[in-house]
Amino acid sequence: MLNTAHHEAMVIRGGRVIDAAAGRDEIADVFITNGVIVAAPRRDALVLDATGLIVCPGLMDLHVHLREPGQSHKETIESGTAAAAAGGFTLVACMPNTQPPLDTPDAVRWVIERASEADHCKVAPVAAITKVRGGRELTDFAALLGAGAAAFSDDGTGVEDDGVMRSAFERASDLDALLIQHCEYKAISAGGVMHLGEVSRRLGLAGLDPRSEEAMIERDIDLCRRTGGRYHVAHISTAKAIDLVRRAKDEGLPVTAEVCTHHLMLTDETCANADPNTKMHPPLRPQSDVDACRRGLLDGTIDCIVTDHAPHTAEEKSAGFLKAPAGIVGLETALGVAAKAMLAPPSSPLHKGGHREVVDWPRLLSWFTTGPARVLKRRPASIEIGTRADLTLIDPHSPWTVNSHQFHSKGHNTPFDGWTLTGRAVGTVRGRQVNRLLPDSRPSSIL
Ligand SMILES: [Zn+2]
């Protein structure tokens, strides 16, 4: 249950303050007065005991489906942002594949207004690249930016037409706007329900060719080279795709990439259980691609971790593996799954060859804070004196068990139900506002 309260003055006492942007990692108190971080506490400040907790700048998720307008049976801006806050996020970027799509300034403003009414976290709407996401005619980028669009994407589909995408790059370059591509040529991926490979052949299921992802990235990097527009690969998922981005970055092109938590954790072998909650887009890949995703984060090719939070109703997901819509919810499991995947135990393939890559909490949190800020070309949130409080509090030690029925999201479609994870947000602070998540296993006095 998310409890929200407002306080004029607060002391967050004794937490491990991790601020990736400032290179800070120490046990310290954080003082907040009138929503701003200050040097000394006010005498009447409310004390929040953060002993044993991590205090860090608010987490960001650049890839979320809030489903409104038009699909409030799956999720609403209210329920989706409550789920985000419960997962420790203070900012989410929401995708425009709603009904109607976010392709007009009014639609963008509508989302921002609903989010501000719900007041659980900040929402940065991503506007459509093309009208009705039809892939033919560009939207009015300048007007959409003016209304508050954070970036442009036709997510759910890729922009396939070379000429249209070239025009999008030219316009993005002129306006210093960010293009986020869902990389998929439908002609190549058509009919596939899971990754095309050994497992799909064994299960006798139609495979989805990874070339559909890689070919579009290849074309787009070429367009980026010729136009200079900023380009971000959504939910990157194959070793070859990551190599393409690695080379583009080596060239100095303005290319960035994100990876989903599930692509760091699950392989296509998981689909053998025929659970519709293992069906997603891009699909779960073989272990070699999962390892490549982890390495891509470690060497800086991939900038940030996202959820691709995609709620569907239980009824929709009960249609069986072949017919059910692709996608899973992720906001309330992201931190724990990312910690499980990346805070590598000695048995992890990341330790192959006796070389131990040390991923600690500061590094892990950078993929949710400074990484996404870099993609958006924004100054990352920080815990510096004089800045507005925008914080996440995390319990890094207590194991907890995922129970999808306790989600704040309307969607319960997760393959992680019943998993035991370690690492969970226990609250966020936004200005004067404190959102407290109080799982049953924690005493209510902790926050
Ligand atoms: Zn997508």
- The mean pLDDT of the chain is 93
Task: Indicate whether 431 and 309 sit together in one domain.
Answer: no
pLDDT of residue 199: 94
Tell me how far the alpha carbon of residue 125 lies from the centroid of ligand 1, in angstroms.
Answer: 15
Entry pTM: 0.95
Q: Is the pLDDT of residue 191 over 90?
A: no
Task: Indicate whether 49 and 70 sit together in one domain.
Answer: no
**Angle (nearest 5°) at CA 285 between 281 and 289:** 125
pLDDT band for position 328 (cuts 50, 70, 90): very high
Of the residues 343, 375, 407, the one at which a domain ends: 375
What integer is the mean pLDDT of 88-105?
Answer: 97
Tell me how far the alpha carbon of residue 248 lies from the centroid of ligand 1, in angstroms.
Answer: 21
308 is catalytic: yes
Task: Indicate whether 280 and 314 sit together in one domain.
Answer: yes
Task: Indicate whether 72 and 193 sit together in one domain.
Answer: yes
Give percent of the chain above pLDDT 90.
Answer: 89
What integer is the mean pLDDT of 364-379?
Answer: 96
Tell me how far the alpha carbon of residue 306 lies from the centroid of ligand 1, in angstroms.
Answer: 11
Task: Indicate whether 50 and 172 sit together in one domain.
Answer: no
The CATH number of whichever domain residue 223 belongs to comes to 3.20.20.140
Domain count, the chain: 2
Tell me how far the alpha carbon of residue 9 lies from the centroid of ligand 1, in angstroms.
Answer: 41
Tell me how far the alpha carbon of residue 287 lies from the centroid of ligand 1, in angstroms.
Answer: 21
Q: Is the pLDDT of residue 353 over 60?
A: no
69 cis-preceded (ω within 30 degrees of 0) = yes
pLDDT of residue 444: 40
pLDDT of residue 437: 79
pLDDT of residue 354: 45
Residue 308, both tokens: 């691709």
What integer is the mean pLDDT of 1-30?
Answer: 93
Task: Indicate whether 48 and 72 sit together in one domain.
Answer: no
CA torsion, ordered 50, 54, 57, 59, to nearest 10 deg: -120
Q: Is residue 69 part of a domain?
A: yes
Q: Is residue 341 part of a domain?
A: yes
pLDDT of residue 438: 57
The predicted-structure confidence for 102-129, as pLDDT tens digits, reads as follows 999 999 999 999 999 999 999 999 999 9
Specify the range with the lowest mean pLDDT, choosing from 74-83, 135-144, 203-212, 341-350: 341-350
Q: What does the alpha-carbon distance between residue 341 and residue 348 come to, in Å, rounded to a whole number?
A: 9
Q: Is residue 175 part of a domain?
A: yes
Catalytic residue among 308, 390, 417, 440: 308
Q: Is residue 353 part of a domain?
A: yes
Task: Indicate whether 115 and 223 sit together in one domain.
Answer: yes
pLDDT of residue 316: 92
Domain that holds residue 432: 2-54+387-446
Q: Is residue 381 part of a domain?
A: no
The predicted-structure confidence for 396-409, as pLDDT tens digits, reads as follows 998 999 999 999 99
Helix (H, G, I), strand (E, B) or coil at 50: coil
Of the residues 375, 397, 432, the one at which a domain ends: 375
pLDDT of residue 115: 97
Residue 57's beta-bridge partner residues? 391
The CATH number of whichever domain residue 22 belongs to comes to 2.30.40.10
pLDDT of residue 181: 98
The predicted-structure confidence for 27-37, as pLDDT tens digits, reads as follows 999 999 999 99
What integer is the mean pLDDT of 3-10?
Answer: 93
Task: Indicate whether 227 and 95 sit together in one domain.
Answer: yes
Tell me how far the alpha carbon of residue 161 lies from the centroid of ligand 1, in angstroms.
Answer: 17
Q: Which of 67, 89, 64 is nearest to 76 (CA)?
A: 67
Residue 190, both tokens: 């058509």
Task: Indicate whether 119 and 158 sit together in one domain.
Answer: yes
Q: Is residue 350 part of a domain?
A: yes
pLDDT band for position 346 (cuts 50, 70, 90): low
pLDDT of residue 348: 58
Task: Indicate whether 289 and 432 sit together in one domain.
Answer: no
pLDDT band for position 350 (cuts 50, 70, 90): low
Tell me how far the alpha carbon of residue 182 lies from the centroid of ligand 1, in angstroms.
Answer: 5
Of the residues 353, 375, 397, the one at which a domain ends: 375
Q: Is residue 391 part of a domain?
A: yes
Tell me how far the alpha carbon of residue 154 lies from the centroid of ligand 1, in angstroms.
Answer: 8
pLDDT of residue 380: 87
Tell me how far the alpha carbon of residue 424 lies from the centroid of ligand 1, in angstroms.
Answer: 26
Q: Is residue 382 part of a domain?
A: no
Task: Indicate whether 288 and 429 sit together in one domain.
Answer: no
Task: Indicate whether 396 and 367 sit together in one domain.
Answer: no
pLDDT band for position 2 (cuts 50, 70, 90): confident
Please count the other Cβ atoms lying within 10 Å of the Cβ belonging to residue 356.
12
Q: Is the pLDDT of residue 182 over 70?
A: yes
